[in-house]
Every structure is written in C-alpha cells, then in structure tokens.
Amino acid sequence: MAVDPEFLDVHVIDLTHDGQGVADLGERRVFIPGVLPGEHIRVSPRRRRRQYHEADLIELIEASPSRVEPPCEYFGLCGGCAVQHLSYEAQVAFKENVLKEAFSRIASVEPDLWLPPILGPEWNYRRRARLGVRYVKGKGRVLVGFKERATRYVTDMGSCRVLVEPLDVFPGVLSEVISESSLHSRLPQAELVAGEDALAIVLRVLEEPTKKDIALFSDISSKWQTDIYLQRGGPGSILALNPETTRQLSYSLDDFELILHFNPIDFIQVNAEVNVGLVRQVLNLLQVQPTDRVLDLYCGLGNFSLPLARHASKVLGIEGDAGLVSRAANNARLNRLDNTSFMVCDLNQSEWQFMNESWDIVLLDPPRSGAQSIIQQMSSVTPRRIAYVSCHPATLARDTKELIAQGYHMTAAGIADMFPHTHHVEAIAIFER
C-alpha cells in the first residue's frame, strides 16, 4: 500500500532475469534492485512509467532468509555484480529457475534430465575483463572500473573481488598510473586478461603516449610481471609495449592434454574452472565415437573443437572471426591434431556449403543472439546428437522450439555458473533425434 506520495511499502514477489526484485501494485509492477523475494521493504519510486515503476530501496522491513551481507564494498554502486546479497546456493537456484522458466514460457518444454550445475570458485574467478577508464576533474584523478549500475559513469573502485589475482588490484594500480600520465583524459578503456603463465593489459589510447608515459607503463609491466599492449584503433592496431619480452597467453584443458594459445583481446570463457567442467560435461554427453564427423559452429579458438578431435574421426570448426580461425588452426598444429580443419564463415547468412554434408554430431556455442539462421537449416544435416552451449536462456529456448519442430528431443539441460554474483546464465542443452 502507499505510505505517502514519495514512499511505498511493498512485498517482493519475484526476481527478474537480471536480478531485480519485483513487487506488485495491482495495475503496475515495481522493479527494485538489491532486494529479494519474500522481503517486506520500503521504497522510493525513482522513475514512474505507465505500466511499471522503478524504485530504490529505502528500508528493509523484513529480510529474506537467503539474504547475506555483500562482502564487496562497491556492491550496489558497481554494475559488475547484481546478486551478491543473495546466498550462493540461492544464486544457483535462481539461475536454474531462469533457464527452466525460459524453456517453459518460450518452448513449452523441459528436458528428460536436469543436469547438476557446473560450479567453480565464488570469488577471484574472472580471468578477463574490460574496464572503463575516466578522468574525473572533481576528484583530480582517473577512475578505473566497471560501469556504475544504471549509469554510464565508471565506478570509483580500488579493487575487484571477482577478478583473479593479481588482476583484482589492477583497478587501483591503473588508476594511479594513468592519473600521472599525459593520457589521463585520452585513455577510455583497459582490458585485463590472465593466462596460466602470463598476464596482459590492453590500454586503448586516443593519442600517442609520451616518453614519460612509456616509462610509467613499463614500470607496471616490470613490477607486476604483466605485458602491456597499446591499442590505437581497431583490433588490428594492438601492439606490445615491449615486444621482445612479451609472453604467450595460454590456457590448458588437462583432461584432453591440450594447451590453447590466444591473443589479449580474443574471446575466452572468463571462468577457467567452470570452462573445464563445461567442456568435460559436453564431451561426456555427446558420446563421440571414433568414426564420427563433428561440426563445431562458433568454434572460436577451438575450445570445444580440439577436445572433440581427441575422440572423433573429423572435426570442422566454423567461426566468423578470421583471427580466431587462424589461431584455432595454430592450436590444432600445436597439439598435433591433424583431423581438424577450420573455416571463416558468417553464420548469419542463409546458406552454407558445409550444411550440405553429413555430420554425426553438431555443437553450437553462439553469442547472445543465438543461432536462429543455422538452426533453421539443421533439418538438412540431421545429426543424431546436438550440443547447444548458450549465454542467453531466451534465445536458447527460442532455438530449442525450432529444433523440436524438426523432430529433435531435448534429453538434458542445465546451467554452468560462469559468472557468480551476476545475473548471467550460461547453459547447455543436448538434443537427439
């Protein structure tokens, strides 16, 4: 009920897919960040719309049993995490429910088997991050961090608990160094990445650094054993600050005796331990036979292609990024796999020659937009088994509906918690004819 025109007392009934609390006012719903189902709260409407309100928490009158104290001092301001106030067990259940609800609402289906969630470390798990950099005149210094929640401003943060060590302290380290440089207002972005034996920072620079700037960045490189790269334009403009000492970034998949090399801004799964579990589970579920021909769509660096090649007769990886295709082929050679090949192809086109061939197994790992175009052509390939790895449950459910219409059956599905404390849901689904 309304307390006065400025405040509302409400009960939270649900969470949205992005982790906001939902309260029901009859004709309208109220969306409130930082609250949980079952809680009685007082809120202040921030934005009133015809069909819903957005509001901020003013007072927690009755807390949920699943509420915990967020350990990060920046939670609530920083937009990097959405559900630190929810116990980790409840976070996993929330993400599983997001997937189940998407399958039910969009495809009216559920799998024969719900897979146990693939879990890793709750903290210090993130090995890759893109951070904003902004000089704030009022503070007299540069801020480096994730964007603030619901704004375009950069969070004033000295560290980040979800980043792997030592990347976790780099927001503060970079803030100090960039503040001293001539580029403090001409350096909008920093990308951090950790390989197993090397670290890298890619600084997006809008003008040439001075000799003093080079010395400052070189000091970071030496102190933190980190390779610094400068990006003056597009991806092809990235150059190492000290190329003679730059180390190769890599990660391993020990189950399959594989090592994969990658470049600083290449896409890799951010959570190393969960990625290992995901690859292991996909291979177990696909039950690849020595005579199988396997098609890996959106193959990237070969994260799935190369493990599949350990078991299959032939693997063809398809990827739209020519650089990733080149590095996937190099990774195959590095691991002495001669039954793999890779092809550059825009999978948003309507026709592909490889879809006219016979494939026993198909794996898809598309971006958030899903794989609608390719799924519509799957009936011409008719593999006996399909694995679909998704970072967006809604598009996975949409594509599931099409596969079912083609005669496929969803035998198993589940989540992989790639991003603890965020609302992001990574999922896997297996289909058979």
Termini Cα distance of the chain: 53
The residue from 72, 81, 160, 391 that is catalytic is 391
Non-local (6+) Cβ contacts of 251 within 8 A are: 195, 196, 259, 260, 262, 268, 272, 275
pLDDT tens-place string over residues 274-326: 999 999 999 999 999 999 999 999 999 999 999 999 999 999 999 999 999 99
Top CATH class of 128-194+199-247 equals mainly beta
pLDDT at residue 3 is higher than 70: no
Percentage of the chain exceeding pLDDT 70: 99
CA angle 51, 153, 95 (to 5 degrees): 55
Question: CATH topology of 2-62 equal to that of 92-121+269-432?
Answer: no
Average pLDDT over residues 70-74: 97
Average pLDDT over residues 352-373: 94
The pLDDT value recorded for residue 5 is 60
pLDDT tens-place string over residues 40-69: 999 998 887 778 889 999 999 999 999 999
User: What is the fold, at CATH topology level, of the domain defined by 92-121+269-432?
Assistant: Rossmann fold (3.40.50)
Average pLDDT over residues 120-141: 98
For residue 9, the cross-strand partners are 42
pLDDT at residue 217 is higher than 90: yes
Does the N-terminal peptide bond of residue 243 adopt cis geometry, omega within 30 degrees of 0? no
Q: Report domain extents, the chain.
A: 2-62, 92-121+269-432, 128-194+199-247
User: 391 an active-site residue?
Assistant: yes
The pLDDT value recorded for residue 23 is 96
pLDDT at residue 232 is higher than 70: yes
CA angle 223, 156, 425 (to 5 degrees): 95
How big is the chain by its Cα radius of gyration, in Å? 24
User: What is the fold, at CATH topology level, of the domain defined by 2-62?
Assistant: OB fold (Dihydrolipoamide Acetyltransferase, E2P) (2.40.50)
In Å, how far are 127, 244, 322, 404 from 271, measured between CA atoms?
6, 29, 24, 31
In Å, how far are 263, 282, 311, 388 from 360, measured between CA atoms?
32, 15, 13, 15
